[in-house]
Amino acid sequence: MTISWYRPAAVTQQPRRVAVLSVHTSPLEQPGTGDAGGMNVYIAQTAQEMARRGVEVEVFTRATASDQPPVVELAPGVLVRHVPAGPFEPLSRSELPAQLCAFTNGVLRTEAFHEPGYYDLIHSHYWLSGQVGWLARNRWGVPLVHTAHTLAKVKNAALAEGDTPEPRTRVIGEQQVVDEADQLIVNTGVEADQLVELYGADPRAVRTVSPGVDLERFRPGSQDEARDRLGLSRDAVVLAFAGRIQPLKAPDVLLRAAAELVRTRPELRSRLVVLVAGGPSGSGLDQPESLKALAVSLGIDDLTRFLPPQAGDGLVTVYRAADVVAVPSHNESFGLVALEAQACGTPVVAASVGGLPVAVDHGVSGLLVGSHRAPEWAEALAEAALRRRGELADGAVRHARRFSWQRTTDALLGSYADARGAFRRAALEVAV
């Protein structure tokens, strides 16, 4: 499989300081619950890597508790600023648009305490942040680079059963950001096409930069030791899911497939374990209770173990303990879980949607499934976990090593340089 990477020219306009906007979730939050997920990892990892290159990064996020310090150092050269906007409590994404004015005011006030030109560039993440970035861009006279992470029109076209469609407010807001941003960063060529076809984005403004994986943390290790830590039998057949528990992520698909496996291969019942690590999120606030109820109704509650969201080494342990990690999402702009699991030497069975065909090399590092039906998933899981596990595990490690946050950051800084150069040329043209 060929991976299309954005290859920038030599970086001659590396910014001194970047303002990163992440209104609805903080890089300090634990991925796997609430609104925290792959975007948090992306922001934290690229910010730290930029700081190592001498670029200061300041991340603006909404304060959700009165005892949060105004500024937290995530790492040397990376600050997280908690901006008061609305009540000091978590708010749903549907409630956040009403707080964008207050959040924008906090961002602009912070910059006003510095000399003009303090920030060289704005990078907004998700459409809510893009709305703030659009206004700050015009006020500060610096380019706006935007990463959507997910798109409303794409999500609504692949809506999970029982899930809530994204509102028209978001569709309109996304369109405004696409129209105003100087550059749009996407994870895959598929996402680039979606921006152009569904939102009318200028193809010249779109850059494809694949996310990476922390290859120091996520690496192969002892499966036996990982299973001992989790209290799992060493000869178990372990199918794992890691991530936010919500309809979009479709953990129910794994449970239904596991039930199908037990039905068609009853000899597996004594060995099969379904491991679900994550917390409720978004329209899945009734989960994992409803997921537990589903396990009962399918007759596999005795085979299913629920773990809270796992951080750092805990997540590595889950990946290493598994024979296969399932990523059955109805939509994924990329799928960092798939990449992390493969880096640990665990094959992945994933839905063939969004960016997952890039994150998973079908037949080499894992398997892609073209539907969400239990029989197809059961067959793919059996093939990956029972028949081809060793072969796919080797391919998984090789595939994951093609991705790194260093490479992602190289491409981002090249993209920033292009955006700054184009912005400066446009300003000169207007002046003339």
CATH number, residue 383: 3.40.50.2000
Confidence of residue 431 (pLDDT cuts 50, 70, 90): low
* 8 inside domain: no
The answer on 412 and 378 residing in a single domain is no
Per-residue model confidence as pLDDT tens digits over 156-211: 988 777 778 999 999 999 999 999 999 999 999 999 999 999 999 999 999 999 99
Binding-site residue set for UDP-N-acetyl-alpha-D-glucosamine:
30-31, 38, 244, 249, 310, 332, 340
> Each residue of 236-263: pLDDT tens digit?
999 999 988 888 899 999 999 999 999 9
Mean pLDDT of 370-377: 97
Planar angle of CA 378, 382, 387, nearest 5 degrees? 160
In this predicted structure, the answer to whether residue 286 has a pLDDT above a threshold of 60 is no
Higher pLDDT, 47 or 278: 47
Same domain for 203 and 243? no
Please give the tally of structural domains in the chain. Answer: 2
Please give the residue range of the domain that contains residue 142: 17-212+405-431
Burial state string for 360-395 with b = 16 or more CB within 10 A and e = fewer than 16: bbeebbbbbbeebebeebbbbbbbbbeebbeebbeb
User: How does residue 5 score in pLDDT terms, banded at 50, 70 and 90?
Assistant: very low
- pLDDT reading at 1 higher than 60: no
Q: ∠ CA(221), CA(225), CA(229), 5° rounding? A: 125
Q: pLDDT band at 10, cuts 50/70/90?
A: very low
Binding residues for Mg(2+): 319-320, 322, 346
**Same domain for 232 and 156:** no
Predicted confidence at residue 302, as pLDDT, reads 96
**Residues 254 and 269 occupy one common structural domain:** yes
- The answer to whether residue 364 scores a pLDDT higher than 70 is yes
- What pTM was computed for the model? 0.88
Q: Evaluate if residue 288 carries a pLDDT over 70.
A: no
Task: Provide the annotated binding site for 1D-myo-inositol 3-phosphate.
Answer: 24, 35-40, 93, 126, 150, 170
Task: For residue 402, name the pLDDT band (cuts at 50, 70, 90).
Answer: very high
**197: amino acid identity, one letter:** E
Known binding residues: 24, 30-31, 35-40, 93, 126, 150, 170, 244, 249, 310, 319-320, 322, 332, 340, 346
